[in-house]
Amino acid sequence: MRDLLVAAQTEESDTAREQTKAEQDVDQVRQRAARDQQRLDSGAVTSPKDLENLQREITSLAKRQGDLEDVVLEVMERRESAQERVAELTERVTSVQSKIDDATARRDAAFEEIDGEVATVTKEREVIAGSIPADLLKLYDKLRGQQGGVGAAKLYARSCQGCRQELAITELAEIRKAAPDTVVRCENCRRILVRTSESGL
């Protein structure tokens, strides 16, 4: 839209120049006709042939002036429509720009909020990670790297929430027997399984 606006502004200034030029042409013809008329009125020209020529020139200049005035009118019309386009496009550019400004402000606010959340969550994670045995944390981080950012998953209704697979009966039986602090893993995706009251054991 800015490109269209620049094009319309260029057309406006071009037609403004064209209008000045056309008006100067009209002026020139008008001045010449006035000079001729003065000479005619002064009585200085007496020869019938010269008078006829002068009269003919005045008539032809009047015709020429009319034609040139039509050109001025035509240029003015084009200039006016260019001015209208400039006004319309200026309004549209302003309106789109204000939408951009608004979206930018909302995006920046969202960034700020997300940054704040990241800082909070990072701090929380540090605290929790500090309370987890080093070897378990190492295993978790390794799995997290291999499994798209999720190293541990809830065992929910006999299914691993990491890979969404239901565990085999024998696997469930083993998990049931395992001590509460034993680290159990999903047979399928190898993620650490977190047992809860909803695990279906």
Judged by DSSP in three states, 186 sits in coil
> 3-state SS of 5-67?
HHHHHHHHHHHHHHHHHHHHHHHHHHHHHHHHHHHHHHCCCCCHHHHHHHHHHHHHHHHHHHH
Binding flag, residue 186, Zn ion (CB under 5 A): yes
Smallest distance, Å, CB 195 to Zn ion? Answer: 14
Contacts with Zn ion in 153-172 (CB under 5 A)?
160, 162-163
Binding flag, residue 151, Zn ion (CB under 5 A): no
**Burial tier of 78 (Cβ tally within 10 Å: 0-12, 13-18, 19+):** middle
Residue 82 or 151 with smaller CB distance to Zn ion: 151
Distance CA 46, CA 48 (A): 6
Residue 75 or 186 with smaller CB distance to Zn ion: 186
Binding flag, residue 9, Zn ion (CB under 5 A): no
Element spanning 71, H or E: helix 48-130
Smallest distance, Å, CB 182 to Zn ion? Answer: 17
Residue 110 or 168 with smaller CB distance to Zn ion: 168
Binding flag, residue 184, Zn ion (CB under 5 A): no
Binding flag, residue 89, Zn ion (CB under 5 A): no
Smallest distance, Å, CB 171 to Zn ion? Answer: 10
Smallest distance, Å, CB 151 to Zn ion? Answer: 11
Smallest distance, Å, CB 132 to Zn ion? Answer: 20
Contact assessment for residue 194 and residue 156, using Cβ atoms and an 8 Å cutoff? no
Residue 58 or 153 with smaller CB distance to Zn ion: 153
User: Which residues are within 8 A (CB) of 74 and not within 5 positions of it... i.e. 6 or more apart?
Assistant: none
Distance CA 60, CA 65 (A): 9
Binding flag, residue 188, Zn ion (CB under 5 A): yes
Residue 63 or 164 with smaller CB distance to Zn ion: 164
Residues at the interface with Zn ion (CB under 5 A): 160, 162-163, 186, 188-189
